[in-house]
Amino acid sequence: MAEIRVKLYHPSELSEADWYELQGMERSAYRKVLDPRRVSQQAIDAFVDWGNVTRFQQSHVDSSSERGKRFSANQVWANGRIAIATKYAGAFPQRVGFGSAYWNASYGPPEGPQDDSLKAQTVRAAKMGSVVVPPPFSAKANKSYLALREVVTDPDHMERGIARQVLGTLLRPPTAIPWQHVTFYDWPEIDPEWMRPTLQEYGLSPKGGGSLVQVFGEIDPPVWQDRLEAPSASGILQHIREHTQTHHSS
């Protein structure tokens, strides 16, 4: 019987060959779940930087390299982690899923221009450090979010709970602090129908302020992007546990 184990890495620990493998998995996963009538293969390739593994790697090792491009301006990231799921069956382990998450804070207009003044940097640093404030004070004081960038499953291993295992690993220390707010962006116009209900089942809900964004560069038309948020990492973990228990008992 196959066993799935999830291991946590700092992005800089992975080699270029590792990133190429993860990049290919993400490319295949998007092709599997996104409607080809709405999202072209060229657009998916542009989104995952297919053909440019260096940029894909660098954007995970140092997210600021994509500030004002893939990501909004006036952001700062820290404590990035990559969770990789590996299937052990027989002599050859196989990577079957991965996800990434980062602490994130912001100060300044997301559309730019980039403000790197001493004041802006000080405010962002203060927001990033606010995550250490424990409940009951954290509800208002915590301005550092756990930003989930992606949770990906190999197309041949979907619907087996691997994404939940990856997500559960990212929502625990050292990546997340239990009371840390969690954010994720989705694209309701092009995501599969099950995506939003699943996210809401885990406690992530739209915060408003969505916008049209050029997610796939200039290849495809802009799509609507929503920001989803959950009050705490521990809350999502509880939803995952409840979902898993319900699934096992049915």
Distance CA 96, CA 79 (A): 24
- Above 80 in pLDDT, residue 249? no
Q: Are 98 and 60 in contact (CB under 8 A)?
A: no
Element (H, E) at 95: strand 94-106
- Above 70 in pLDDT, residue 250? no
What pLDDT score was predicted for residue 130? 86
What pLDDT score was predicted for residue 138? 61
Percent of the chain whose pLDDT exceeds 90: 70
Mean of the per-residue pLDDT values of the chain: 91
What pLDDT score was predicted for residue 137? 67
Percent of the chain whose pLDDT exceeds 70: 96
Question: Mean pLDDT over residues 27-39, rounded?
Answer: 93
Element (H, E) at 229: strand 223-230
Q: How far is CA 48 from the centre of its chain?
A: 13
- Local structure of residue 166 (DSSP, 8 states): H
For 66-92, the pLDDT digits (tens) are: 888 888 899 999 999 999 999 998 888
Query: Cα angle vertex 175, ends 174, 179, to 5°?
Result: 95
Report residue 103: phi and psi, to 5°.
Answer: -70, 140
Distance CA 211, CA 31 (A): 24
- Please name each of the domains of the chain with its CATH number: 3-249 (3.40.630.30)
**pTM reported for the whole predicted model:** 0.93
Question: Mean pLDDT over residues 139-163, rounded?
Answer: 90
Give the highest mean pLDDT range of 94-98, 133-137, 185-189.
94-98
Look at 134 and 12; give whichever has higher pLDDT: 12
User: Which of the four pLDDT bands, split at 50, 70 and 90, describes residue 204?
Assistant: very high
Q: Residues near 60 by Cβ (< 8 Å), separated by ≥ 6? A: 11, 19, 80, 82, 100, 149
Element (H, E) at 18: helix 16-33
What pLDDT score was predicted for residue 149? 96
User: Cα dist. 182→19, 35, 97, 236, 241 in Å?
Assistant: 25, 27, 20, 9, 17
Question: Mean pLDDT over residues 21-29, rounded?
Answer: 98
Question: Mean pLDDT over residues 45-64, rounded?
Answer: 95
What pLDDT score was predicted for residue 213? 85
- Above 80 in pLDDT, residue 245? no
For 97-126, the pLDDT digits (tens) are: 999 999 999 999 988 899 999 999 999 999
Strands 145-153 and 182-186 turn out to be parallel
